[in-house]
Amino acid sequence: MTKPSFFDLTISDLADELVAAGHKKFAATQLFEWVYDRKILDIESWTNVSKKCREWLSETYSFDLPKVIFHAKSYDGTRKFLVQFEDKQTVETVVIPARNRLTQCISSQVGCAIGCTFCHTGTQGLKRHLKPGEITGQFMSVSLWLRENVHEEERLTNIVYMGQGEPLHNYENVKKATINFLEQKGLGLSQRKITLSTSGLVPKIKMLHDFPPVNIAISLHSAKNDTRTELMPINKAYDLQRLFDAIKSIPLKAHRRITYEYLLIAGVNDTKSDVEALNKLLDKRESKINLIPFNEYPGSNYKKPSNDQVLWFMDQMIKKGYTCTIRATKGEDILAACGQLKTQYEKLNLWDQSVEIRKIENSDAQA
Ligand code: SAH
Ligand code: SF4
C-alpha cells in the first residue's frame, strides 16, 4: 500500500499526528521550515529533528512530489510545465513573469466537469480532483525545477487558480492547499498574492466566509443570461441573479474588490449591448474587469476579436467609470491557454517527436 503524502497535511494536521505518535508538537514547525521554506527534502539533513522522529517520518509518509515531465518556454518568458502524479495522470501549470512578479497558474483538477463551450479543458470532462498535496506539489516541483535549471533566485511570488479545473468544485482540497500556501512557517505567501478564479459555483461561493481570504475572480463572460448559458452551462443552474446574490455574501476586506473575468469572443459578447448589460450589472466601486481575448485553438468553435474591438470594449467600460484591464496573451507559441498544451500533446502524441522538443530547447537558448 502506498504511504499517505506528507504534502496533504496542514501544519495543524501534522502537529496532531506527531503528538498521536508520541513526538513533540513543535517538530511540526521545524518540519514545515525544512520542507516548504528551505525546500530541502532529504530527511537525513534535518539536523534539528530527532533521529526517532525522522525514522517515523520516513516510515509513515511519502515525500514524493509531482514529476515535471515536460517544459516549454515561450519567447515572452512564459514557461509551461506538464506535471505527472503517482497514478500517471497529468496536469499543466504555467509560470508567467511580469515586472517584479513571477505568477504560477495552478490546476485544481484533472479535467473539469463544468464544460464551458469555449474551454479546451472543458472538453475533457472531469477525470478526478487533485489532492491538497498535488496542488501545493505543483508549486513545490516547479520551484525546485527553477532552482535547479534557472537560478537560485528565481522564486514564484504569486498564485492564480486558473489552470485546469474548477477550484470550488474541489473546495476542501483547494482550501487545505491554500492554508499551506499561506502558512507563515512554510511557503508563507500573503493573501493578496493568491487569486481564486471560479465559474460561479453558487453553493460554494456562499461558503467562502469559511475559506482563507484570498482574492476572488469570477468568470463572468457575459452579463446576459442567454449568452452566458450558451458559453457556460453552469449558468442554467446558477443564473446571474443567483450568482450575484451569492457574491454579496463574500466577505471582502476594506478596499479589496472582486475581479470579473470577461472573455471576449468575436460576435458573441463584444457588442454595444454587451457593454450596456455589463454596465447595468456591475457596481463600479466594487468591481474590476479583466478582459481576456479568446485564445483560439485547433478545433475551437469561436473566434478571437480584433485588437481594435478589444480596445474599444475596454474604452467603453473605462468611459463608464470602471477599472478595466486587458489580459495580455502570454505564451501563444507554446499553447499557454487553459488546457491547451495537455490536450494537444496527448492528441498528437508529440512526446515522441524529438523535433518538437528541439524547437523548445532552441527557444530556451534564445531567451
Ligand atoms: N475554472 C475556473 C478557473 C480556471 S479557468 C474558471 O473558469 O474561472 C481560468 C480562466 O481561463 C477562466 O476565466 C476561463 O474563462 C479562461 N479560459 C478558458 N478557456 C479560454 C480560452 N480558450 N481563451 C481564453 N481564456 C480562456
Ligand atoms: Fe472548467 Fe473553468 Fe474551463 Fe469552464 S473555463 S470548463 S470552469 S476550467
Structure confidence by residue, pLDDT tens digits, 80-94: 999 999 999 999 999
Give yes or no for a contact between 341 and 120, defined as CB atoms under 8 angstroms apart. no
Ligand 2 centre to CA of 35 (Å) is: 32
pLDDT at 334: 61
pLDDT at 254: 58
The residue whose CB lies within 8 Å of the most ligand 2 atoms, and thus the one to mutate among 196, 199, 265, is: 199
Q: Which ligand 1 atom minimizes the distance to the CA of 300?
A: 22
Q: Is the four-CA dihedral 194, 107, 139, 362 of positive or negative sign?
A: negative
Give yes or no for a contact between 218 and 261, defined as CB atoms under 8 angstroms apart. yes
Percent of the chain with pLDDT over 70: 89
Ligand 2 centre to CA of 30 (Å) is: 38
CA-closest residue to ligand 1 atom 16: 338
pLDDT at 331: 65
Percent of the chain with pLDDT over 90: 79
Q: Which ligand 2 atom minimizes the distance to the CA of 109?
A: 8
Q: What is the DSSP letter of 338?
A: T
Q: Rounded to whole angstroms, how far apart are CA atoms 95 and 81?
A: 8
Q: Is the CB of 341 under 6 A from ligand 2?
A: no
Mean pLDDT, residues 48-66 taken together: 97
pLDDT digits (tens, 9 = 90+) for 295-319: 888 888 899 999 999 999 999 999 9
Computed over every residue of the chain, the mean pLDDT equals 89
Is pLDDT larger for residue 361 or for residue 311? 311
Domains of the chain as residue ranges with CATH: 6-60 (1.10.150.530), 67-359 (3.20.20.70)
Ligand 2 centre to CA of 123 (Å) is: 9
Q: Is the CB of 292 under 6 A from ligand 2?
A: no
pLDDT for residue 343 is more than 60:
no
- Which of 126-130, 222-226, 353-357 is predicted least confidently? 353-357
pLDDT digits (tens, 9 = 90+) for 108-155: 999 999 999 999 888 889 999 999 999 999 999 999 999 999 988 789
pLDDT for residue 219 is more than 60:
yes
pLDDT at 272: 98
Q: Is the CB of 83 under 6 A from ligand 2?
A: no
Q: Which ligand is nearest to the CA of 326?
A: 1
**Residue with C-alpha cell 492528441?**
347
Report the b/e string of 148-186 with b at 16+ CB within 10 A. Answer: eeeeeebebebbbbbbbbbbbbbbebbbbbbbbbbbeeb
pLDDT at 351: 33
Q: Which ligand 1 atom minimizes the distance to the CA of 197?
A: 8
Is pLDDT larger for residue 2 or for residue 58? 58
Amino acid at 29: T
pLDDT for residue 362 is more than 60:
no
Q: Is the CB of 199 under 6 A from ligand 2?
A: yes
Catalytic residues: 92, 338
Ligand 1 centre to CA of 108 (Å) is: 13
Q: Rounded to whole angstroms, how far apart are CA atoms 297 and 119?
A: 9
CA-closest residue to ligand 1 atom 8: 198
pLDDT at 255: 58
pLDDT digits (tens, 9 = 90+) for 253-274: 755 799 999 999 999 999 999 9
Q: Which ligand is nearest to the CA of 337?
A: 1
pLDDT for residue 286 is more than 80:
yes
CA-closest residue to ligand 1 atom 14: 219
CA-closest residue to ligand 1 atom 10: 162
pLDDT digits (tens, 9 = 90+) for 1-51: 789 999 999 999 999 999 999 999 999 999 999 999 999 999 999 999 999
pLDDT for residue 329 is more than 90:
no
At residue 216, φ and ψ (nearest 5 deg) are: -115, 130
> Are β-strands 67-73 and 258-264 bridged in parallel, bridged antiparallel, or unpaired?
unpaired
The residue whose CB lies within 8 Å of the most ligand 1 atoms, and thus the one to mutate among 162, 269, 343, is: 162
